[in-house]
Amino acid sequence: MKSRIFILFIILSFSACTNHELLGKVDLEPASAEWINNINNNQCDTYKNTDGDIMHMRNAYGVTTYYNEIDYHCKKMLLHTKCETYDLQGMALSYVQDLSIKYTLQRNKSKIADWDNFNINIRENDKQIDVNKILYTSDSTLLLGESFVFLDSIDIATKRFYDVYYTKTGGDSSEVFFNKTHGVVAFRMASYSVLWIQQ
């Protein structure tokens, strides 16, 4: 009798798992992918600060493309959970020196909308700037939470940049300026820090 209970327990344990059904791959919008490809191709790797210091950043790996499998819809059955999944395309590009600038572009999908999220992460020791910009969405209400200032052109020190997004982040009032052509064109890690400008 005990052996039958043990066998039944084993059967139920194996059957009480999650079954995944891959519905397909979903790529980034071509216009979204251009952002990271532009930054990589334009060799946006040299910055100069307002004190005259120059920082040459290293792009060791180029653009990395990958797919993330995500659960789209899960339904609990009697003895198991059935999940429908998608493989969503992502891209990443990193620059490293005394600090790091990492660009990540990820396709996202829900029952409500599809969207491409562009993330900029600038890190220096314990300080960081983390910014998200939606580049494409099938539901424009997702854009309501964004707080970027868009500038047709801006002069930063002696350089002029076009079609620039600007935002302040965090309690230390860090700043970042970026565009589709060159990525981060200028940034300040905190209100008291020097401003770095892409050359």
Q: Output the pLDDT for position 36.
A: 97
> Domain coordinates of the chain in residue numbers?
18-198
* Averages of pLDDT over each 10 residues, the chain, 199 residues: 47 48 82 97 94 94 90 65 84 96 95 94 94 95 91 95 94 93 97 95
Q: Output the pLDDT for position 23.
A: 63
pLDDT in tens, 108-129: 988 889 999 999 999 999 999 9
Q: Output the pLDDT for position 83.
A: 79
CA–CA dist 146, 127 (Å, integer): 22
By the 8 A CB rule, do 127 and 189 touch? yes
Q: Output the pLDDT for position 78.
A: 62
Q: Output the pLDDT for position 193.
A: 93
Alpha helices in the chain (DSSP H): 2-15, 30-41
pLDDT in tens, 141-165: 999 889 899 999 999 998 999 999 9
User: Which of 142-168 are b and which e, b meaning 16 or more Cβ less than 10 Å from the residue's Cβ?
Assistant: beeeeeeeeeeebebeeeebeebbbbe
CA–CA dist 11, 70 (Å, integer): 27
Across the chain, mean pLDDT equals 87
Token pair 């429908």 is found at 84
Q: Output the pLDDT for position 79.
A: 62
Please give the angle made by the CA atoms of 115, 121 and 126, to the nearest 5 degrees: 145
Q: Output the pLDDT for position 97.
A: 94
